[in-house]
Amino acid sequence: MGLEIKQSLKLSQQLVMTPQLQQAIKLLQLNRLELAETIGQELLENPLLEISEDASDTEPGEGSESEGDGRDQPGNENESEPAGGEDAPAPELEEIKVAEEAKEEFDWENYLGEYSSSPASREGSSYEERDTPSFENMLTRAPSLKDHLLWQLRLSALDQRQMEIGSHVIGNLTPDGYLQTPLEDLAQAAETEVPEVEKVLQVIQRFDPLGIAARDLKECLIIQATELYPGHDLVHDILENHLGDLEKRTYNNIAKKLGVSMEEVGEALRVIQSLEPKPGRSINDEEPQYITPDIYVYKVDGEFVIMLNEDGLPKLKVNSFYKDALAEGGSADAKEYVQNKLRSALWLIRSIHQRQRTIYKVTESILKHQRSFFDKGVAYLKPMVLRDVAEDVGMHESTISRVTTNKYVHTPQGVFELKYFFNSGINRVEGGSVASEAVKERIRRLVSEEDPKKPLSDQAIANILKKENIDIARRTVAKYREMLNILPSSRRRRTL
């Protein structure tokens, strides 16, 4: 069969995502901070976009000529000339002369003393006394653990070669302050021997915070106990030889092996509990991440009110100057450019409004489905999936997923991500279901109210929940307990 080239027509239907639709979907899944950054970028790139001011402000394009420099306007030539006529010096020369005279007459010594000395030492000063921090306390960022240790390293009695080794050691510490890099690798990187690295390491381990640069938990606690409690032999013995029993809380075994009473073991335990297992976390330069809610739900006179949080989001509008320029005409390229930017600006404004309306409608639907949660708390959360809200607001589940991701709502019960309200259900013994988050909250409360000497096992918690009409298996209780970072009953028991 021979090969040949043919031309044919074929009709087909396919879904094509236009750039405008892609932009709308992108805006829908952005959080407030990302949306503000996107709007700022669009304001820089699109000259037709501008921030809408209050009605009292001058509209863009009106009076723009009067806002310029008066010397550039017709009829203002006399205003721009100096008062002295032709013999008067040029404005530039006059400004330079005045600046030089001011520089000669200025008392720099008193000026610097005014800002470098304390308010109490400023005799005869007319400045207001204020409790302001010194220049030394004005830092651009908090010192990190590495900075703190390098500062101590430079103050130590080590030679230049040892300081280079110490910088390698400090640079390989974890955020918790542990050294997990083998000494052989450090010695190879510093081109030295392992004993020399060990010697420098022992010096660094006495830096603040105590226990830093330890290679495991045992070494970390022993370093702290050696420095803080040098005469407590029982504490040192437990840390050296019975750390496993201490972890398992088998205090009776420790008392029998060491031949001491339980009271003495309890006293040593209180000392050990005062030590820091993660010394590096006391110096943390990470900035706290604050959550700004995208929407608020208030309860006013027994009814819930939903309010969008639009603080920090600029109100956009189209610049009327370019709209008028487009109507007046111009070159074909200029008109095409303005028309494209105009369509882009209008679509962005429309997409932002659509995003806000969608978030409002989704929150309104969540409030309708989870009314008991907003009234009484997490224990009354109901099972809900994306389909429930999607059918209620008439949107696709993928749209609901984008809207609820990284969006937060402020409620009378606290601040929650919108995704939090969607969770699976646990069947009840007598029919119906309860939200998994409500079950987790109930498990957390049971553990917090248990007897420390007789903690509840997973099976005991499952039995209690079944009595409360919640059909749950022991393995499910164990899974939820691990998700809540709760230890098993054997490790929650307190015998002392």
**Cα(201)–Cα(158) distance, integer angstroms:** 12
Q: Over the chain, what is the mean pLDDT?
A: 81
Same domain, yes or no: 250 and 362: no
**Cα(72)–Cα(74) distance, integer angstroms:** 7
Same domain, yes or no: 167 and 257: yes
Give domain status of residue 289, yes or no: no
Same domain, yes or no: 302 and 414: yes
Q: Which of 70-74, 190-194, 210-214, 314-318 has the lowest mean pLDDT?
A: 70-74
Q: Which tens digits make up the pLDDT trace of 9-40?
A: 888 877 666 777 777 888 888 888 888 888 98
Q: Which of 76-80, 114-118, 485-489 has the lowest mean pLDDT?
A: 76-80
Strand ranges inside 122-229, DSSP E:
none
CA 314 to chain centroid: 22
Q: What is the pLDDT of residue 75?
A: 40
Report how many domains make up the chain: 3
- Is the pLDDT at 186 greater than 60? The verdict is yes
What value does the mean pLDDT take over residues 409-425?
91
Q: What is the pLDDT of residue 106?
A: 45
Q: What is the pLDDT of residue 23?
A: 77
Give domain status of residue 334, yes or no: yes
Q: Which tens digits make up the pLDDT trace of 236-257?
A: 999 999 988 888 888 888 999 9
Give domain status of residue 91, yes or no: no
- Is the pLDDT at 404 greater than 60? The verdict is yes
- Which structural domain range is residue 157 located in? 145-282
Q: What is the pLDDT of residue 59?
A: 39
406, 421, 436 - which closes a domain: 421
Same domain, yes or no: 331 and 370: yes
Q: Which tens digits make up the pLDDT trace of 135-160?
A: 555 556 677 889 999 999 999 888 99
What value does the mean pLDDT take over residues 355-371?
93
Q: What is the pLDDT of residue 140?
A: 61
Give domain status of residue 453, yes or no: yes
Q: What is the pLDDT of residue 442?
A: 92
Q: What is the pLDDT of residue 107?
A: 53
**Cα(390)–Cα(386) distance, integer angstroms:** 6
For residue 295, report the phi and psi dihedrals to the nearest 5 degrees.
-155, 150
Provide the CB-side half-sphere exposure for 256 (13 A, CA).
Answer: 5
- The helix (run of H) or strand (run of E) holding residue 302 is none
Q: What is the pLDDT of residue 78?
A: 39
Same domain, yes or no: 170 and 254: yes
Q: What is the dihedral sign for C-alpha 247, 249, 253, 258?
A: positive
pLDDT class of 179 with cuts at 50, 70, 90: very high
Strand ranges inside 367-472, DSSP E:
408-411, 414-417, 425-427, 433-435
Same domain, yes or no: 457 and 415: no
Same domain, yes or no: 247 and 152: yes
Give domain status of residue 100, yes or no: no
3-state SS, 315-346, equals CEEECHHHHHHHHHCCCHHHHHHHHHHHHHHH
Same domain, yes or no: 207 and 265: yes
Same domain, yes or no: 310 and 410: yes
Q: Which tens digits make up the pLDDT trace of 288-306?
A: 778 889 999 999 988 999 9
Query: Most confidently modeled of 102-106, 120-124, 432-436?
Result: 432-436
**Cα(441)–Cα(481) distance, integer angstroms:** 10
Same domain, yes or no: 175 and 208: yes
- Is the pLDDT at 55 greater than 50? The verdict is no
Determine if the peptide bond prior to 209 is cis (ω within 30°): yes
In percent, how much of the chain has pLDDT > 70?
Answer: 80
Same domain, yes or no: 364 and 451: no
Q: What is the pLDDT of residue 135?
A: 54
Q: What is the CATH number of the domain that holds 216?
A: 1.10.10.1330
pLDDT class of 129 with cuts at 50, 70, 90: low
Q: What is the pLDDT of residue 391?
A: 93
421, 456, 479 - which closes a domain: 421
Give domain status of residue 433, yes or no: yes
Same domain, yes or no: 246 and 229: yes
Q: What is the pLDDT of residue 165?
A: 93
Q: What is the CATH number of the domain that holds 474?
A: 1.10.10.60
Reading the block at residue 461, the tokens are 């918690």
- Is the pLDDT at 58 greater than 50? The verdict is no
Nearest to 26 by CA among 420, 406, 421: 406
Q: What is the pLDDT of residue 77?
A: 40
- Is the pLDDT at 130 greater than 70? The verdict is no
Give domain status of residue 71, yes or no: no
Whole-prediction pTM value?
A: 0.66
Give domain status of residue 138, yes or no: no
Place of tokens 């000063």: 125
Q: What is the pLDDT of residue 320?
A: 79
The better pLDDT of the pair 325, 347 is held by 347
What value does the mean pLDDT take over residues 399-416?
91
Q: What is the pLDDT of residue 213?
A: 93
400, 421, 442 - which closes a domain: 421
